[in-house]
Amino acid sequence: MRGTGKRISIVVGAAALAGALAAGAAGGHGAVIRLGAQVVSAGDSLAVTGEGLGVRAKITLALEGASGRKVLGTLQGDAHGRFETVVVIPAETPAGAYRIVAEGGGERATEDLLVSAAVGGARAQGSPAAVPEAPEATAEEMRLELRRSAAETAIAWGLVGTLVILGAWLVRRPIRP
């Protein structure tokens, strides 16, 4: 019984360590952007801030949706890999679901955005945004990328491999009373 308790303790400890390492690898690293609003009208300004896109990296901001990709601007990150800017959503943007994308320094960050139709061609100051219309259905495939950096992928596979080897070692090791 004593040998089984040791094995369980080792497996639980290894799993806890692997979980902590994976959480450390995934959290606190990577690119992140934040939007000043989650719903805007076409033609409105939108504050965008971000971090983790590389020290002094050239950063490209774009609007991606069913109708394609539109570059909203480029800027340079600061000495800490952060940026802060205001972009204008093009007035001709159809209402619907979009994604603001920031790319720079080999990293990519995204945040969802709803673009609503302006009421009567323009929205009155302080009035709520109109409910966005559904984008027109097309046969064209919409590309949605879920990227991870090479380091995150390598760490994850390394942890999986370590746990598999540890599990195999524990199973094959004879129990001593």
Residue 92 placed within a domain: yes
Residue 164 placed within a domain: no
Residue 23 placed within a domain: no
Residue 148 placed within a domain: no
Q: What is the CATH number of the domain that holds 73?
A: 2.60.40.1930
Q: What is the residue-level pLDDT of the chain in tens, covering all 177 positions?
A: 455 566 666 666 666 666 655 555 444 457 899 999 999 999 999 999 999 888 899 999 999 998 789 999 999 999 888 999 999 999 889 999 999 999 988 889 999 999 987 655 544 444 444 455 556 666 676 666 666 677 778 888 898 999 988 888 888 877 776
Cβ neighbours around 65 below 10 Å, total: 17
> 74: number of CA atoms within 13 Å, CB side?
6
> Which of 89, 82, 85, 139 lies closest to 113 in space, CA to CA?
89
Domain count, the chain: 1
Residue 9 placed within a domain: no
Residue 8 placed within a domain: no
Q: Does the predicted TM-score (pTM) go above 0.75? A: no
Residue 68 placed within a domain: yes
* Domain coverage including residue 119: 32-141
Say which amino acid occupies 47: A
Residue 146 placed within a domain: no
120 by DSSP, 3-state: which? helix
